[in-house]
Structure 1
Amino acid sequence: MNFVEIKKDQIYFKGEKLTLRGLGIGTWLNIEHFMVGLPGPQSTILDGIEKVYGRGKSTEFLDKYVDSFIDENDFKFMKEQGINFVRVPINHRLFMNDNTLEINEFGFKKLRRLLDYCEKYQIFCMIDMHTSPGGQNPDWHSDNKTGVPEFWQFKQLRNQLVTIWGQIAKRFGGEYSYLLGYDLLNEPAMANWKYLNEYFENTIVEIRKYDKNHAVILESDHFAMDFTGLKDIEDDKLIISFHYYPTVWKQNLLDRDLDRKKRKQEFAKGLDEVISTMRKMKHPLICGEAGYDIKPDDIGFAMELLEDTVDIFEDKNISWCLWAYKDAQFMGLVHPKNESKWMQLVNRVHEKWTHYGEMNQANEITEDVAQRFNYHDEDLEYETQFRIRGILYRYQEESILIPLLKSISWDELMQSLESFKFEECTYYKEYSVLLQKYME
């Protein structure tokens, strides 16, 4: 079999230089609230389903959701777009039970099905560990219900994830040419450099017991944007992955009156700042995530932002992966139709909850706390608002999610998941045209 090779700072496949251009698969084996339109991290959403419909129903829900979200029709479409790369976020809880540490075959079964599609359609796959026991960052996308990244506080949590990676490598390491490799931890934040590097070293040792064929991919602190303390680990197949969302950190770049040329210069400057933190490490680079909100009544602006960002990656010879392929009408290329049953549910939720509304609530409460203590510290307030969100998740579950679920039958909920099937979805043609501009 053929596997990817790495020579200095370039990726090769079958003797040819390989530039990866593609999409994150979306909210598939890790549910993100804003991408499906329901409040709370994945574990909170599944908890609400169990409370309303009964024990075991969350597994039935996941089974139907995962199979509806991605199937062979999606891969046929991706192949038609010309993309050669998908990044696949996974939730560790679908591979191992946190309490019993028993292996969960559900995750392995679903991941194998996707890898089979990747092999058939010759699309490279990067498996991305999007969550960790205790949370590697304080945010919802690591399925963190408390806002405290406890992964850095307890070695047994890190050891648990090392074990999961070993099981993944053992099962898939010798079978798939189009498995690019293993993205060991998505967007670490508030990390301890010693423990981050130790986790990476231990995980690579465990993976290499079973798999010397595929790459290991390292992200770093501050949500994969700060590499100053990352150890340059010795491995024959090592890739560095950063994430780039410039408008999240500098929202003035979303000003429609800002000159496009000037904005693009700011994009390039910010990217240079991220890359500069990597010092002199000589490994291939992948932008594992980049993307922007897509407003249906203003698609052109989102495409402008994407085009200017991807142009910079292309100019710097950096492989890239845009976020994302499919979601419930937020950032995805493909999405359920407006009239679909799922989007009808989402519209009801949005009357009471949105991702940005939640952020604003947390910031307002944090500011109120700071005023009560007459103590203002920017870093403390940044940390605290994540903890406040953990409280909000519980209130959202009880006051929004559970009442919503109680208002529909189990059969209705399950039928609504069919809205994610490719044949029931639509896509942004402008996005498709933009993607094909860069495909060889």
Structure 2
Amino acid sequence: MAPTTPKACLRVQGTDIVDGDGKRVILKGCATGGHTNMENFITGYPGHESEMRAAMLEVLGQEKYNFFFDKFLEYFFMPEDAEFLASLGLNCIRIPINHRHFMDDLNPSVIKPEGFRLIDRIVDVCASAGLYTILDMHTFPGGQNQGWHSDSGIHKALFWDFKDFQDRMVDLWVEIAKHYKGNTWVAGYNPMNEPADPKHVDLQAFYSRVEPAIRAVDPDHILYLDGNTYAMDFSAFKEVLPNCVYAIHDYATMGFPAGDPYTGTPEQKDFLQKSYERKVQFMKQHKVPIWNGEFGPVYASPDETSYQTTNDQRYNLLGQQLAIYKKDEISWSIWLYKDIGFQGMVYAGPDTAYMRLLKPFLDKKKRLGLDKWGRDDTHVGHIYEPVIKHFKEEIPEEFLNKRYPQHWKIEGHIHRVLRETLFSEILTWEYASYFKGKTLEDLDELAASFKLENCLKREGLNEHLRADARSSSS
């Protein structure tokens, strides 16, 4: 039996999200990260999506390039995926989007219909399984943050410095809002993922501009507004916009290789609680709903020492975070659904064509620690330590951590420029070279590695999500 279509758009009512009958709705779900916005650690390429795509086009030619990515986008998220997520008790899927699906940087005034066809399919597939969707704009021209996932290819967030970039994205959101107006399966719009505005004023100016522009064509859908500095800082926010939910991202360093192992001590639990409370202070003060748009540990692979012990610790960490969110009855979306075995709820199996083909490259990339997300510097730390030492010796201490975002410290900025940008960009061509000479049949098999039927399920993770959903519905 097909699920009943909601009769009205979700809306904000005080501290709650409610449906057309005024009944409270707590959104619980995951992100389809790595799909309509690809990321290096999710599917294995180095660097940035646009650079990878350019290298792949060079190797494959236009026809094979189009074929492979069309098949990848089709197979990565299908009706079976939505049904699986619904079976866990989840009710809302966040769709991270690369703006380039909708606009060409060389022809920015034209909104491409292919973007709507791509997102429509996911929205419709989710609706058929009874799942809401939140549309998340994950990249912006020039980059809205300094990270790889803004797909700018650089280490600066230039979006904030160019009005024409901002104009383009307001115009794009107006077209998206026109298109999805009245679609009650769309739970709302997440206008900007993880903004990082160095001045702490330009983000609020953008929100104050994009919100009425969207409302002029679609007065009903909720907006989910991320805090500054990667959705962690609301200290400069001054006002609450109507029918808006405010969004944090709540990653815990104990869930990553560089962090201390999570053993569930009172001190660790207290640290998690205080970190969360700091992020949601603005929402509690202004009595508005909270959405945790991203969280979740990464997981060790079987080739790592004591990997099961590590993963059990991280499942326990996840359980503690879910307990914190349950206490406040907030909405959340875990990161992420599907990948090649690092963080996903499901992941491409080691015997799939994609994983077999790229295993030498993936092993090399892991050894080099090119991806920022959860890297281990065991094999290359000795290379970068002298560079960091040199910077610290030559830069006066008062300027050493002046560069925004300051929490990266000088080490983070060095790694961003040398490894995640320069080194990774060059190795993009090596990644693409693995696809040289592949036939259409080969490319279809490679893309099909991401079909759910070819993926393994991370049951320790999924059981925590399933249990949380069961307790919420009981």
Q: Secondary structure at the match of 1:405?
A: coil
Q: Deviations over 1:181-211 (max 9, x none)?
A: 0001101124333321121121112211221
Structure-2 separation of matches of 1:368 and 1:294: 30
1:378 aligned partner: 401
Of residues 351-360 and 261-270 in structure 1, the stretch that sits farther from structure 2 once superposed is: 351-360
**Aligned counterpart for 1:12 among listed residues 14, 18, 22:** 18
Structure-1 separation of matches of 2:280 and 2:80: 37
1:167 is aligned to 2:190 = no
Cα shift at 1:57: 4.4
Q: Secondary structure at the match of 1:229?
A: coil
Cα shift at 1:411: 4.1
Q: Deviations over 1:291-343 (max 9, x none)?
A: 11122542422211111111111012211111111111111111111211112
CA 1:159–1:5: 2 relative to 1, 3 Å? same
Structure-2 separation of matches of 1:308 and 1:5: 29
Structure-2 separation of matches of 1:356 and 1:267: 31
CA contact (8 A) 1:267 1:309 kept: yes
1:245 is aligned to 2:251 = yes
**Aligned counterpart for 1:66 among listed residues 69, 73, 98:** 73
CA 1:307–1:249: 2 relative to 1, 3 Å? closer
Cα shift at 1:259: 4.3
Structure-2 separation of matches of 1:340 and 1:267: 38
2:422 counterpart letter in structure 1: I
CA contact (8 A) 2:145 2:156 kept: yes
Please show how residues 167-206 of structure 1 align to structure 2 within 5 Å.
167-174=175-182, 176-206=183-213
CA contact (8 A) 2:319 2:464 kept: yes
CA contact (8 A) 2:222 2:245 kept: yes
1:378 counterpart letter in structure 2: N
1:118 is aligned to 2:126 = yes
**Aligned counterpart for 2:340 among listed residues 328, 338, 343:** 328
Please show how residues 343-354 of structure 1 align to structure 2 within 5 Å.
343-354=355-366
CA contact (8 A) 1:4 1:214 kept: yes
Structure-1 separation of matches of 2:39 and 2:82: 22
Q: Secondary structure at the match of 1:17?
A: coil
CA contact (8 A) 2:32 2:336 kept: yes
2:342 counterpart letter in structure 1: F
**Runs of at least 4 residues of structure 1 off by over 6 A?**
248-252
1:134 counterpart letter in structure 2: G
Structure-2 separation of matches of 1:260 and 1:293: 20
1:148 is aligned to 2:153 = no
Q: Deviations over 1:134-164 (max 9, x none)?
A: 0011111111201111011111111111111
The TM-score normalised by the length of structure 2 is 0.86
Count residues with an aligned counterpart: 436
1:287 aligned partner: 292
Structure-2 separation of matches of 1:322 and 1:378: 31
CA 1:248–1:363: 2 relative to 1, 3 Å? farther
2:8 aligned partner: 2
Cα shift at 1:266: 1.4
Cα shift at 1:425: 1.6
Of residues 380-389 and 288-297 in structure 1, the stretch that sits farther from structure 2 once superposed is: 380-389
Structure-1 separation of matches of 2:223 and 2:392: 46
Structure-2 separation of matches of 1:206 and 1:57: 39
CA contact (8 A) 1:75 1:121 kept: yes
2:116 aligned partner: 108
2:407 aligned partner: none
CA contact (8 A) 1:220 1:227 kept: yes
Q: Secondary structure at the match of 2:94?
A: strand
Q: Secondary structure at the match of 1:16?
A: coil
Structure-1 separation of matches of 2:386 and 2:37: 28
Of residues 124-133 and 201-210 in structure 1, the stretch that sits farther from structure 2 once superposed is: 201-210
CA 1:144–1:330: 2 relative to 1, 3 Å? same
1:41 counterpart letter in structure 2: H
1:220 aligned partner: 227
Cα shift at 1:123: 1.1
**Aligned counterpart for 2:141 among listed residues 128, 133, 143:** 133
Of residues 260-269 and 376-385 in structure 1, the stretch that sits farther from structure 2 once superposed is: 376-385
CA contact (8 A) 1:226 1:277 kept: no
Q: Over aligned residue pairs, what C-alpha RMSD do you find?
A: 2.4
Structure-2 separation of matches of 1:363 and 1:221: 29
1:428 counterpart letter in structure 2: R
The TM-score normalised by the length of structure 1 is 0.92
CA contact (8 A) 1:34 1:354 kept: no
Of residues 380-389 and 221-230 in structure 1, the stretch that sits farther from structure 2 once superposed is: 380-389
1:437 counterpart letter in structure 2: A
Cα shift at 1:90: 0.4
Q: Deviations over 1:350-402 (max 9, x none)?
A: 2321397124579658526616845551344244542333222322223x223
CA contact (8 A) 1:291 1:322 kept: yes
State the identity as a percent. Answer: 26
**Aligned counterpart for 1:264 among listed residues 254, 269, 282:** 269
CA 1:137–1:363: 2 relative to 1, 3 Å? farther
1:387 is aligned to 2:432 = no
Cα shift at 1:261: 3.7
Cα shift at 1:22: 1.3
1:77 is aligned to 2:84 = yes
Q: Deviations over 1:81-112 (max 9, x none)?
A: 11111111000010111111122222210110
Q: Secondary structure at the match of 2:41?
A: helix
2:428 aligned partner: 397
Structure-1 separation of matches of 2:255 and 2:321: 15
CA contact (8 A) 1:23 1:322 kept: yes
CA contact (8 A) 1:50 1:58 kept: yes
